[in-house]
Structure 1
Amino acid sequence: MDPRRLLPVLTAAACALVVATLVVGHGRPDEVGRAAAPRAQVSGAASAVSPSEPAAVLAEWDERRSAAWAKGDATALTALYVPRSRSGAADVRLLRAWAARGLRVEGLTTQLLGLRVVERSSRRLVLRVTDRVAGGVAVGGGAPVALPADRASTRRVVLVRQRGDWLVEEVRDQERAAARTSRTSSSSKS
């Protein structure tokens, strides 16, 4: 396949990946301005990380997600989300669509730009995250094609701890939600 024909597909996929990419942070905005999320060893360490270290939880989660995308492994990707998570289903659908075209994404990297913990307990984290996809290469369709540069996105991310692992329950785009609320709360009858 001609790499130039992949560019619109890759651009759309990169945008969808950003929506699904998650960042975990600590309970205050002290992480704002950091250049990139810390990377953790892919060793199942998420179950050993205390809730006081949510950035490390994120790094582990991101590494596992990146590995699932690199392998085109929908089962491994599904395991990162709670059962029946709409965000997880969307991520898996996207991965399967890429796999159906014979493509995988290697080196998927997220850059953390800001975060704030909205709610935190030993079993639940609700975060407001600003990040962007900072790296990744589509392989399998001839010559590898780098994912296009991505704009920063802000999302509300809900993670829950189940059987010792942090799993994503929900990801909601904050900018689109704010725009919808703005449109629906104005009244034309005034």
Structure 2
Amino acid sequence: MDPRRLLPALAAVACACVVATLVVTLVPWRDASPGVGRPPVPASVPGAPSDLRPAAVLADWDAARAAAWSAGDPSALSALYVAGSRTGAADVRLLRHYGSRGLRVTGLTTQVLALDVVRRTPSRLVLVVTDRVVGGLAVGGSTPVALPADRATTRRVVLRRSGGGWRVVETSVPAGDHARAAASTAVTSSSSKS
């Protein structure tokens, strides 16, 4: 099987993680209750511990994920998700598939275009992140293969504080964004076949 066929799925997962990181970092906090407004509060509050700033949480999580992918370490990757996470299972499955072919993915870079903090408590973050994958290289074969660039995709990312760290519960495409996500996947998939 041509490793370039796996790139769209990896790009989508990487994009979701990067978008979540950028969303937490760049978008002001917003109350999830419709019609209830609050003054904007920066996602990163000066003086707050980094483990309580959504942008920092997402950035740290993304860095740990990129390191696990670069090392080809399914255990390290799995530890970034809560037990039973479908998103985590898919990410680990894809990493193992690359590993079974002798490949690792280095240089995963996700560009966060928008970040909206929907809910923030000391133990839970709900974010809406718009991001795209702008880098990554599958190495280990005869020739490194660049991951295809991804279109911007918006995802809802839920993180939970557990065992002293933050873990992703799930990521999902918000209801109104399914058509845009499908279009993004179709373009990414076709770019890997060229």
Instruction: Determine if the TM-score, normalized by the shorter chain, exceeds 0.5.
Output: yes
Q: CA offsets, 1:1-55, max 9 Å, x none?
A: 9xxx43333234323433455514156269xxxxxxxxxxxxxxxxx6232x211
Instruction: Decide whether aligned partners of structure 1 residues 93 and 124 sit closer, same or farther in structure 2, where only a CA change above 3 A counts.
Output: same
Structure 2 match to 1:176: 178
Structure 2 match to 1:132: 132
Q: How many residues align?
A: 158
Cα RMSD after superposing both structures: 2.4
- 2:103/2:138 contact within 8 Å kept: yes
- 1:111/1:131 contact within 8 Å kept: yes
Distance 1:121 1:127 in 2: 12
Identity across matched positions, percent:
55
| Secondary structure, aligned partner of 2:11 | helix
Structure 2 match to 1:93: 93
Would you say 1:49 and 2:46 are equivalent positions? no
Q: CA offsets, 1:108-152, max 9 Å, x none?
A: 111110011111101000010001111110001111111111111
Distance 1:82 1:21 in 2: 18
Distance 1:173 1:152 in 2: 12
The TM-score with structure 2 as length reference comes to 0.73
Structure 2 match to 1:159: 159
Distance 2:129 2:113 in 1: 8
List runs of 5+ in structure 1 lacking aligned partners.
31-47, 180-190
Instruction: Decide whether aligned partners of structure 1 residues 127 and 71 sit closer, same or farther in structure 2, where only a CA change above 3 A counts.
Output: same
Instruction: Decide whether aligned partners of structure 1 residues 149 and 29 sit closer, same or farther in structure 2, where only a CA change above 3 A counts.
Output: farther
Structure 2 match to 1:84: 84
List runs of 5+ in structure 2 lacking aligned partners.
31-48, 182-194
Distance 2:111 2:180 in 1: 23
- 2:153/2:180 contact within 8 Å kept: no
Would you say 1:17 and 2:19 are equivalent positions? no
Q: Which amino acid aligns with 2:146?
A: A
The TM-score with structure 1 as length reference comes to 0.75
- 2:117/2:125 contact within 8 Å kept: yes
